[in-house]
Structure 1
């Protein structure tokens, strides 16, 4: 009995995904709930488990293909007697994932029509991917497969022999980049072309959309972190013992921003057509760097949470983000964002808005600097703050007021307790 493996529901507003990795190949035995492949969407990575135990008899959609929701990915033959996938006639040791592709599906990108006299068979999916990465076209590789089709080994052999594509045959750059000019041959051989992941392409598109759409402006200030650091040093041991989580700086910044957003609600609002939508809640986005790119999980109702609750939630979301386990719901609905470039050593920057939000606060490196306090020059741990905002909805006065209220709350944390 054959069982279908299909693309699961990907989440709200996500209709397609790219197959990033197959963990199994045709002929492999699989167990129920064992991971078969990994799908990459615009926002998260989704693992596809085996619906039943048996043998992976056929892979329908190869790595690199774009598939829609509920599209057929593979077939599993139940029972121990399931036959493995046949190997290539040309090579007994050819990899099973290099088998000829099936007839193109309606929702899959159509292949370029082949010219008269070219190979009759269709190249192996893994060979197509390897050729795209190497900048080679099909007619530059001598195929050894059945009917002259190109196999992955043929591409590897062509690359090792020094075959290179001409600039006209090289795949076009991503739409977000400026087309390149001619590249000297000695430079071209030292370059590597890697297709953008869906996450990276989405980040690029959204950031450019933010620049093109919003009237973005940034205002700066600096904060003396002495009071926060002293409070943290005094109570961090007791805090961790009671709540089971370390006291960091992010909970202070989240609390300070929630406090300031009450006074300047337009920073927590968004534009929807000809209307301004004011949020009577704070869903705080916290930017997190991952190996795949920047993601922004959301701490929902942060204004209703305690310091300990905020630290626990940020820690949990940060860990899930680095492991690629965030769900769609955990990254949607943010009303304001905090980005901490200081963890990478940034002294000052201008953060870009996370649409459709109207404000984002940039934190930076804490650095000892000489400042004047009561007429005396003293050394204090200082941090630059940057607020980027949409000037279509937030006036300069509101932006400066917001940043000053954040500064005041951090330099005198007791104000947060007294709601001052």
Structure 2
């Protein structure tokens, strides 16, 4: 069975749920802190005096999140690596070349798992640094803005606080910007990072198993609705090490009947650096046995394009955006207003998926909390 990033998607989703739950909890704590004593003439004074309590509550959530995710990430990486290895066993076990692999009982490559866990820790460390500062900063700004709003605009303190909260919730906790300049909310960025690293663990488990039985070539699937980054690699043969760039090698046939010329498009490292197996990638990777493996058939998707999949992702982001606003609502009116927008975007999602038979709705991607 070929290995695919989708093989570890459920593991990434489980870890991502921890971040979504934390983000929802933080928004609810912020709303509750602002709403308390909101009718008191001493509201601003009370709010500023209670910053220490809010900071402690936010730090407790952030620390619990970091502790929970550390263990969950390692378990997910071990499981993803094992799945990748078992994919190689399933793919080659019935052939002479794979019987040696079936007979082996190997534990996951601990250095590889440690390396991937460290990589994820580096990628997500900025989130933990920013969480407390982001929540406390917006709390201070809302208190300062709401205190003078009645004189300037006639808005009530509650209305002004809710408007600022809505803007913050729509953007998401932290407003993190990655190295490419893209802005992410905490939960979306963390889940993307976890999906990426668990997918890498599955692929590494697969190629480590192939290397054990001296299989040095792999072939990329032809997936439907491919993105421009992956399209150049579809159906191509890649080497697991050695020479990069297109080249032709002469390899022994896997059935022992002489040799065959094989055109290699490049190395797997090169393809991944160019974007293959990015988060949400639909492609899989299989062992290439010279003289036996054939190129995969082309998957046509009439009526649906890659742009349609990106529109689906955009709608998912809007659903999550309004669910965050709903979580930060300070009263029933604000909660109902946000809920109306949630239903509007959910209806748009249903219509979009119904119009494109190749798309499947993934409700987990529309949630901000696993309990919702």
Question: TM-score, structure 1 length as denominator?
Answer: 0.19
Higher fraction of strand: 1
Question: TM-score, structure 2 length as denominator?
Answer: 0.21
Max radius of gyration: which structure? 1
